[in-house]
Structure 1
Amino acid sequence: MNELLLKVYQDLEGSLGILLIIMVIIEWIALIIIQKLESNKEGFVNLLSFIIDSIPYFFLGRIFIFGTMVWCYEYKLFTVGYEWYIWIACFLLYDLMFYVFHYLGHRVRLFWCIHGVHHTAKEMKLTVAVRGSFLGILWTPLNFIWLPLLGFDPFMVFIVHTFGRFYGVYEHVNENFVGKQRWLEWLLITPSVHRAHHSSDHEYLDRNYGETFSIWDHLFGTFQSEFTDKKMEYGIMDDTIDGENFWQVQTILWKQLWEDVVNAPTFMDKLKYIFKPPGWNHIDGGKLAESYREEALKERKLQLTK
């Protein structure tokens, strides 16, 4: 049974990888044809980051991901079966956990050093979906590898994860191909909604954490629809990071964290730099994303009333 599950896992990963490559190539060629491709180099950095991110999965995926899931299923707390509503429950729980860990990826600086690599791209296109950190295996699988402990068959989780990732790639599609779909935003993370998540404009900071469903963002107050009166800028707020520099993209967030930890005056301050949100400092607490966002939204409201 375990060998069968392993084969399913490998086949799903392989099939998804091939499908992603096909989608990326088609969009890349289309952007060139319509003369909307801003940076070939950044696209290659995205793909190189994908390769570096994938290497640990190739060598450790069988042990870290598949092995953990099989172990959890052997010691499952519940027996839930395979009825249609169990599949739906699995998908919803998977997506909720994606929301939770995605939230932590933005709110805990240690995790941001891994997840932040994904946000360093300054142009939205499908290759951005695979722009990952070389340490991604330590973070990305955490939202689903423990689900078999609740009784969900690893095969079921693999299927759910595959569909979730596929949709997650689609929502990075360039804005020239999929515009704003406001009528879907109450339920789904549309490409427009996810573009807002990738924006470095202050009014969008730390919003829209869901992968497939937007219901979690609506429920927890983290939803922000795209404003259509100006073009969004993508990337992160640190203007010193070059999205076309592979080495810098992969290492600079860790370098900055290390410098802050080393220079922190007390042990508690060192820990706070690791676990507090990006932007925190030991001098005055720093200025965090919510402060930038609130100021930007107030300014926008003021401009609209003039």
Structure 2
Amino acid sequence: MTAEFSVENTLKQAAFKLQEAGSESPSLDAAVLLCHALNKPRSFLFTWPDKILDSEQITQFEQRLIRRLQGEPVAYIIGEREFWSMPLKVSPTTLIPRPDTERLVEIALDKSVLIDGPILDLGTGTGAIALALASELPQRQVIGIDLMPEAQALATENAQRLGISNARFLSGSWFSPVEAEAKFGLIVSNPPYIDENDPHLSQGDVRFEPLSALVAPDNGLADIKHITEHAKQFLLDQGWLMFEHGYQQGDAVRAIFLSQGYDQVETLKDYGNNDRVTFGRFVSK
């Protein structure tokens, strides 16, 4: 093999191809894929830029690169995504955890000091939100629910891999697996909230993600309405309900909370200064 197949040149060539294909982070994508193909940490790339790759390593990398050039998300290719500094296993049956969702975790942690009780995460997917909260609040019990049994199994595996013992996961539609008398101090959710006609569904990574976890009827608000209505019977007095939602949905989601009688309703912004999380407090009459 020649210097053409060095770590440095392989990364440069791959980054150029990825940039041409429209990747928003071509150099990072190339580095992550090469590390995965080589089973090496990122530090290896910087320490050994002149290292010549053998034919098997090149084949492994090119197989991953082709998938990314076709638009498949890096997280699905390598089977992992970091969230809240935790390496989470991901699969095409679940959404890929995103940095904006960490904003929901931050707000939930702020509210957790105001009320005790277990925490419920609806539509848990990989378990990202539930596991982040469980890791920060080891004295609290956290339950995550997902409609898809595959997602429940994946979230359970992530909890085991991370050694988080105060989170457990159930499968079913929204509140259906919850015991009728159960009460929670916090209910959090990143539900489907995209309108089925949204043009963004045909762009970028979301093309590969499950539509059932993305799209909701009624302009993307149907699941938020359902959860907001039914959460009241499962919240402790003074308990909090909060959602991640679309950047244009703040007004609509606040109106849903107010129509159901929630108190202290507010929308907070994400790291990009877009409306992202709306919450309200349940006050029993």
TM-score by length of 1: 0.23
Structure having the higher Rg: 2
Question: Greater helix share, 1 or 2?
Answer: 1
Question: Greater strand share, 1 or 2?
Answer: 2
TM-score by length of 2: 0.24
